[in-house]
Amino acid sequence: MSLNEKEWFTEAFENNTAFAVHYTKKLYEAQSEFQKIEFYETPVMGRVLSLDGCFMVTEKDSFVYHEMITHPAGAMTPHPESALVIGGGDGGTVTELVKYPSLRSITLCEIDGEVVSTCKKFFPEISSGLSDSRVKVVCLDGAAYVKQFQDEFDIILIDSTDPVGPGKALYEMDFYRSVKNALKKGGVATFQTESPFFMANVFSDTVKNLRSVFGHECATPYLSVIPSYPGALWSFTMCSNEPKDAFNPQSGLSDELLKSLDYYNAQIHTAAFVLPNFVHKLIS
């Protein structure tokens, strides 16, 4: 069947493949200082956030992404006290972090304040963690912001967009070095590192660059399935300033926290770090 463009939102990736959802209503459209922001109401994916024509967040599958960028790092960090999220203006990653009672401070650094304010309006559940008293929101360039810190954070999560527009600076070597410097000893930084299927060069180059900064044994990719992202198979890379065995978390997450999750568990943690052969070849 053909798609009626008036009823479908379609993200085309490099004019080679596309993902589309039928929508019943466009809820919001605006051009911020940095990007085009759109929200749609859809029958299948719930509310959808698009930035510059690309799927960023859907109510249907956002829990997978936000749990998988957050809790593998949390499981590897005994009693974290301070966390920084760079990007992630939808608030979903912060909403996962506030589940850690040991965290005393959580900073969200999002360059586009309009993303934060509109997500509070259209994604109240996803962004609910932003109202936690431990959370501070700063609307600044994350690459510049993190440079001012040394040995400051137990957890840093790079919840970035693709390496274009305002997200490009979050894929540069200087930024990776700044993140490493901002980590406390024993801390963990997790980067979203794109699709090994459709963005193989970006994925492999990013992992290579992270390993050159953190060390080969201190930058470990892992995978998850995000249905609304190109190729569905998505990657993250966990980095630290000292070697960590991803298959043997240093701290167990509480039973109470695990029961609150919809995707992540101990078995998922282990399985995520088992890479298919083609992914091994991309980063070898």
- pLDDT, tens only, 10-20: 988 888 888 89
The span from the CA of 85 to the CA of 94, in Å, is 7
The span from the CA of 156 to the CA of 86, in Å, is 8
Residue 252 has a pLDDT of 67
For residue 272, pLDDT beyond 50:
yes
pTM for the complete prediction?
Answer: 0.95
Q: pLDDT confidence of 1, banded at 50, 70, 90? A: very low
Among residues 116, 77, 111, 121, the alpha carbon closest in space to that of 93 is found at: 116
The two three-digit tokens of residue 246, written as one number: 């991803």
Residue 18 has a pLDDT of 86
How large is the average pLDDT for residues 67-90? 96
Q: What's the pLDDT tens digit per position in 194-241? A: 999 999 999 999 999 999 999 999 999 999 999 999 889 999 999 999
The span from the CA of 6 to the CA of 4, in Å, is 5
How large is the average pLDDT for residues 240-260? 86
Domains in the chain, start-ordered, CATH in brackets?
A: 8-58 (2.30.140.10), 62-283 (3.40.50.150)
3-state secondary structure of 46: strand
Strands (E), the chain: 8-13, 17-22, 25-31, 36-42, 46-51, 54-58, 82-87, 105-109, 135-138, 153-159, 183-192, 219-225, 233-240
Q: Point out the residues that are catalytic.
A: 159
For residue 99, pLDDT beyond 50:
yes
The per-residue pLDDT of the chain, averaged, comes to 94
The span from the CA of 185 to the CA of 238, in Å, is 15
- Burial class, 280, CB count within 10 angstroms (exposed 0-12 / middle 13-18 / buried 19+): exposed
Cα–Cα distance list, 191 to 60, 86, 121, 254 (Å):
22, 10, 27, 24
Residue 16 has a pLDDT of 81
For residue 253, pLDDT beyond 90:
no
Residue 94 has a pLDDT of 98
Q: What's the pLDDT tens digit per position in 137-146? A: 999 999 999 9
Residue 5 has a pLDDT of 67
Q: pLDDT confidence of 4, banded at 50, 70, 90? A: low
